[in-house]
Structure 1
């Protein structure tokens, strides 16, 4: 018998065993009683055992029949689980997902909100987060070491990737709390031109979102940022936390996305920027072009929905 016949025979047998009556089992299965009797006899011939004792008012299971019932139920339950697992995987509700984040993206409320919504809707997906710079995320995506990534950079040539801009937010200047521009009311704004002679602490290497945004904003305001040095090395901080620590120590200033104001660092004060060339930070979601993973598609859909909802507020 092929698999379809075997599964159908198991369901016939279970129905008779549970109803203890062939006619009632036939009604339950939506078939006539004689064909069902023939199918049960065919199973007994196939197994070369007697599964039922026929009585005037129905049937009773033999010891062999009770053993077969237990195994038949287990087999169908296992198949049902396999079918449901396959369906969940097809819908993107089961599997694995590696999500990259830079050190600034988790501070935007969209990112934790989208991840939380996805996890609540798809608890069977094993989701892991990896923190790295935008350019590192791009490399890991291309090398299939990561599935999707929240980034700030535009990803350069975008080779092999799909990069969706989700939201824009203004950038603010992070100042040492002792700085003269940090004095006054919290709503005090600072023009870019006032920062022309300041020492900048740049975050990450060229090609990362915050580095490029800082350079572009200063050049648009008519100056190139003066980058601080420690000894013979240019002041480049690998992570935003180290950047702000250096600001708090009075070694310079930096631009950060406005959502970073959630990070309260000792000795750091944030001020909004003013003027026609105020820099903005773009939150983006990158994935591999042509990735057919249902889990990845499901996650991207969740992020887009949350981004649309966030922008509408």
Structure 2
């Protein structure tokens, strides 16, 4: 028996969702197909990947180890299928600024792909806060930036959204709210809350809290996403953060669940930014074209369908 991509995808979906029934719905297949794929994987690897219980499917230590390898496989296949092919060979130096969240959870993978497709473009990356990024774009210190576009304030900076990452409630496994399909901010306000502050996250969060007429019961303010992850997983509180930074497991190996919030909660928008009057160099155009092909072109194709 040989390993198949189908088995890998079914395993990843079950590991992330924690239930075969919900994974099957997500994949639009039968539960038996998911169960069979997991059994085939376990037989092939000679280890148990999940502990089955009435509450769902929990990864074993071997399962968590294999999940990391499975992510690499899925990403490699997706890259092979979706990698944009450049129409020209751009060259030059490109100075790119990025905020903490973008650099930590999004950009490195795409920088690697850019270097592969445009080896003659030398990319210099600078991690900065939003205010410093805006200043650097305006005075020519940076050519372009990859940022959380909703945070931008200066009228002379043009932005282009690449994708929106939904914000959802993070909560520990077996929390009573997990039994619901969705929750309101009024429900969340009854729980101890872990508030992320990095990249102006507190400012963004308070906008939708105030719009709903609610106030979170903040137990801790922190600039560390990993601190939020561990605090939530350990049952010390809940948080509302984007899918971009979500991982189903904390550093301690404890599961983190997510729920949709019924009140309006604006997504986290990630995109490109540059000075309105900046003339595009070949390197800048290659950078923009790469992200356009990777994100905007697939969205436009999907919309036409």
TM-score band by shorter chain is: 0.5 to 0.7
In our comparison, the structure showing a higher alpha carbon Rg is: 1
1:96 maps to which of 87, 93, 99? 93
* Residue 154 (structure 1) aligned with residue 154 (structure 2): no
**TM, length-normalised to structure 1:** 0.56
Structure 1: give runs of 5+ residues left out of the alignment. 1-90, 229-234
Equivalent residue, structure 1, for 2:194:
201
Equivalent residue, structure 1, for 2:249:
264
Shift in Å at residue 174 of structure 1? 1.7
User: Residues of 1 paired with 2:200 and 2:298: CA distance?
Assistant: 22
User: Residues of 2 paired with 1:297 and 1:162: CA distance?
Assistant: 15
Pairing of 1:197-236 with structure 2 (within 5 A): 197-204=190-197, 208=199, 210-228=201-219, 235-236=220-221
* Residue 190 (structure 1) aligned with residue 183 (structure 2): yes
Over 3 Å counting, the alpha-carbon distance change for 1:129 and 1:236 in structure 2 is: farther
Shift in Å at residue 281 of structure 1? 1.6
The size of the alignment, in residue pairs, is: 211
**TM, length-normalised to structure 2:** 0.58
Structure 2: give runs of 5+ residues left out of the alignment. 1-87
User: Residues of 2 paired with 1:247 and 1:157: CA distance?
Assistant: 32
Deviation string for 1:261-313 (max 9, x for gaps)? 34631345131214241432211211223222331232122212222134245
Shift in Å at residue 134 of structure 1? 3.6
Pairing of 1:127-138 with structure 2 (within 5 A): 127-138=123-134
* Equivalent position SS for 1:285: strand
C-alpha contact 2:103 2:127 (8 A) present in aligned 1:
no
Over 3 Å counting, the alpha-carbon distance change for 1:264 and 1:294 in structure 2 is: same
C-alpha contact 2:195 2:221 (8 A) present in aligned 1:
yes
Equivalent residue, structure 1, for 2:224:
239
C-alpha contact 1:213 1:280 (8 A) present in aligned 2:
no
C-alpha contact 1:213 1:281 (8 A) present in aligned 2:
no
Shift in Å at residue 116 of structure 1? 4.2
Aligned-CA RMSD value: 3.1
